[in-house]
Structure 1
């Protein structure tokens, strides 16, 4: 993994001409990240090709979150025409690796992440686009478009109508900022004890339960039902129907999205998460609020085309 052409010039102009560039991470988008190591400091280069990614929301939402008192990487230099941003380096203590290395810290770390969400939801959403029925439908549409052909099923009728009926009670709730990818791979544990936020550029104004689902029904790591229940209790006043609805919506979207990452983008590693996502989705579909959607799944997606279809994928 190497940065796009022009990265050396960008870093030279930013005063990092003698730095070493090391691969750091990629994600489910076209963005790639590199650690830039100088003689006495390090930074992170975000390489987001502008033909694929608009980095302006990342800058604007990061600034807004900082004004509210949350921790996002400070921008050291930027060239948005080339899609390059040099960021403060939050280090390597990512939430996922921290809790998996020390299970005794799981409750403590998740409690801090829940407290951050509760604080965030105390603020109004601001001037963000709405997370509304049109967006919900577009996202769940990834399932019949990508997932069903991949497991040799024909998309059945009534899909959008089932979702419209189920989501109607919450679709107009745009009361808070929804980060949309608030999970253990996007939360950093900083040396001062605070949590650092990553991957917030797609934030919308939506329902507070969505980010709770992102965190507690994490596609990338197992979150036990006991931990999920404890953290929901810590957050307080969670509408269980809204939580199940948004859990089903998000997990259905993820099943389609991860299939697309495999089929279109050549990223098969995301298939190893599908079985876990099905476990969450099956639990969500059991809620009475999901009755129309559950009926559609029962009619069109047999059991052997669900989690069982992915059970042998490597982790």
Structure 2
């Protein structure tokens, strides 16, 4: 039986680990992300692994398939030791504790090297065929996801005027139209320094990739702006400029066109993230994400300065002025 795709009746995590041969391992809970997934590090006589428990929402089979695609294409996604995907249970390779974000925070001089490695992973993804079967992130999808911005308000701020919703949606779709006709790559979606692990390997294998189960086919600028306009940490403007130049030079993108796409996807991400942070606070009691909102808003305002986004900026101006 394929250990990655064990089928059968419901099992508890403990029963799953027994079947996988990890019943004697010590379990240490790990800090989770903004999702409903839970993680624990398992250690047992010198070996280690990560137990991932996810809700039954289809993300576990997606994680398995995308991990396999990434590994087959020379990138470091975790090996899956065992899985019961219909119950959201995976036992995966432990990439350790060396997150890019933690390393760069402890030693800012390491940041250029780490961000170059992360950018080179994206350059590699642009040179291989996008993974077949992934949903497409086009202008309509982008606009629909950004509308979360209208559903949840940050503390002490009013919700945007509902009358702005459809004009904003149409302005986003229109701005995306030129880019919907361009190359699509495998977009890992949550590609940032907290989801990248430094490994003791050489080349691109030194970057351990995590949290890619929501991958889509998208314009190449999406993951780059996710990396360089990180909602959770400040990225040195010089690094952002250098890595954007590096990406464009290595992938032969026209700079005028690429900067417009970069600003657009950065804007759509910022709108969606502001909605997510407000929802995490109001619905889930995760107030810690509110600390990131000013950074996201600053990125939003900066992106809106691009001429290609003038119609979007015009729609958002009343809300920006009311919440300044």
Q: Distance in 1 between matches of 2:282 and 2:180?
A: 30
TM-score (norm 2): 0.88
Q: Aligned to 2:163, what secondary structure does the other structure show?
A: coil
| Alpha carbons 2:115, 2:243 under 8 Å: kept | yes
Structure 2 unmatched ranges of 5 or more: 1-9
* Cα displacement (A) at 1:53: 4.9
Offset of residue 156 of structure 1: 2.8
List 4+ stretches of structure 1 deviating above 6 A.
none
Match of 1:257 in 2: 276
Answering whether residue 160 of structure 2 is matched by residue 141 of structure 1, we say no
Q: What is the distance in 1 between the residues matched to 2:131 and 2:200?
A: 30
Distance in 1 (alpha carbons) for counterparts of 2:32 and 2:11:
17
- Segments of structure 1 that go 5 or more residues without pairing to the other structure are 307-315
Q: CA deviation at 1:282?
A: 0.7
- Structure 2 residue aligned with 1:224, among 202, 227, 236? 236
Measure, in 2, the Cα distance between the counterparts of 1:11 and 1:293.
Answer: 51
After the TM superposition, which of the residue ranges 292-301 and 92-101 deviates more from structure 2? 292-301
Q: How far is 1:204 from its partner?
A: 0.8
How is 1:44-123 mapped onto 2 (pairs within 5 angstroms)? 44-50=50-56, 52-123=57-128
Aligned-pair CA distance for 1:148: 7.1
> Cα deviation per residue 1:250-308 (whole Å; 9 max; x = unaligned)?
111111111111122221111111000011111100000111110011123325x25xx
SS at match of 1:33: strand
Which structure has the highest helix share of the two?
A: 2
Say which SS state the counterpart of residue 55 (structure 1) adopts.
helix
Shift of 1:172: 3.8
Q: CA RMSD in A?
A: 1.8
Instruction: Specify which of 22, 26, 47 is matched with residue 28 of structure 2.
Output: 22
- Contact in 1 for aligned 2:270/2:300 (Cα 8 Å): yes
Q: Distance in 1 between matches of 2:170 and 2:180?
A: 14
Secondary structure class of the residue paired with 1:100: helix
Give the Å deviation of 1:25: 2.2
Query: Structure 1 60/186 Cα, relative in aligned 2: closer, same or farther at 3 Å?
Result: same
Query: Who is 2:207 aligned against?
Result: 195
**Cα distance in 2, alignment partners of residues 161 and 138 from structure 1:** 10
Pick one of 132, 135, 138 that aligns with 2:138. 132
> Is the counterpart of residue 279 in structure 1 residue 262 in structure 2?
no
- 1:43-99: CA deviation from partner (whole Å, max 9, x where unpaired): 00001021x453111000100111111010000111112211000100000100011
The whole-number CA distance in structure 2 between the counterparts of 1:49 and 1:156 is 35
For 1:259 and 1:150, how far apart are their aligned partners in 2?
11
Match in the other structure for 2:179 = 170
- 1:186 paired with 2:198, answer no
